[in-house]
């Protein structure tokens, strides 16, 4: 089987993800039940939405703007 690397968040979030995007700096964004997870290659960070909604889709726009 091919080599695989697992990057599990060390945050207390529900383990259900819906979308993924990456910016030009290599930062990975994951649309999650609890908000947007951000992974810089070393640390995970959770950005909750003001309306506490599920993030089902992500898209990168001009200037590395993340659309949720």
pTM of the model as a whole: 0.86
pLDDT tens for each residue of 7-66: 788 888 988 999 999 999 999 999 999 999 999 999 999 999 999 999 999 999 999 999
What are the b/e assignments for 18-39, b being 16+ CB within 10 Å? eeebeeeeeeebbbbebbbbbb
**Reduced to 3 states, what is the DSSP secondary structure of residue 6?**
coil
């Amino acid at each position: 089987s091919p080599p695989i690397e697992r990057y599990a968040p060390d945050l207390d979030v529900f383990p259900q993800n819906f979308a993924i995007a990456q910016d030009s700096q290599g930062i990975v964004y994951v649309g999650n039940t609890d908000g947007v997870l951000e992974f810089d290659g070393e640390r995970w960070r959770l950005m909750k939405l003001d309306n506490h909604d599920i993030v089902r889709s992500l898209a990168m726009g001009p200037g590395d703007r993340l659309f949720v």
